[in-house]
Amino acid sequence: MPDLYSEDIECENRSQAPGIAARRSSMLDRARDAILQEAKTLTTVAAHLDEQICLLADYIISSSALVVVSGVGKSGLVGEKISATLVSTGTRSIALDPLDALHGSLGRVCSGDVFLALSKSGQTDELIQMVRAFKTQAIRIALITANGSSSLAEMAHHVLDLGPIEEVGILRLAPTASTTAMMAIGDALAVILEERRGFTRDDFARVHPGGNLGRVLARRTLSY
């Protein structure tokens, strides 16, 4: 039988070789730098944010609208998270896949609802098609984008403009800082809506009955 303990020792010794240690140190520096770059992006986005987010929140609160969140690719995945956060903090919401929407699921969206589109470029073809279709109904169009002068921005009632964003990494192509910024804006919207609604700990417990969080909230609720 192989001596697994000896193999572990040998592997550990190899990992401590000068070349490997230096390479790992460089990788760690790059990982930390990527996080710091995204943190810097969030600081810039926070400073760039204007009252459009307040106007959007006012509309959602005043109309009890369903917030329909949609994006393509990585933005679509962020949209699912934003929608889930809205729902868990008291705002009715669904995430809508653009492909499904353009093949029949546009019927999920009704007059008075809010369509929240996520597009860094503001030029996403599928979202443009959806917004054009919504123009025949009284649907509020909101957009999270890094391009405030884009085609989608021109059609939107509310533009949450992130400002210019540079992605992290050597190629600076994969959605990284931009999707982090979109998610942060979604969290910010959910937070101000939660506060405006007076969403309480009991309300939170009602929609989070499962898991450890549900058990902790239930115990605290019962102790009051």
Per-residue pLDDT 10s for the chain (224 aa) are 556 555 555 655 555 677 898 899 999 999 999 999 999 999 999 999 999 999 999 999 999 889 999 999 999 999 999 999 999 999 999 999 999 999 999 999 999 999 999 999 999 999 999 999 998 899 999 999 999 999 999 999 999 999 999 999 999 999 999 999 999 999 999 999 999 999 998 888 888 888 777 777 776 655 55
Picking from 68, 54, 61, 76, the residue whose alpha carbon sits closest to that of residue 158 is: 54
For 129-139, what is each residue's pLDDT tens digit?
Answer: 999 999 889 99
pLDDT at 12: 57
Picking from 86, 42, 63, 87, the residue whose alpha carbon sits closest to that of residue 157 is: 63
pLDDT at 6: 56
pLDDT at 209: 86
Q: Which residues pair with 68 in a beta bridge?
A: 94, 115
Cβ atoms 115, 134 nearer than 8 A: yes
pLDDT at 32: 97
pLDDT at 1: 55
Residues 6+ apart with CB under 8 A from 100: none
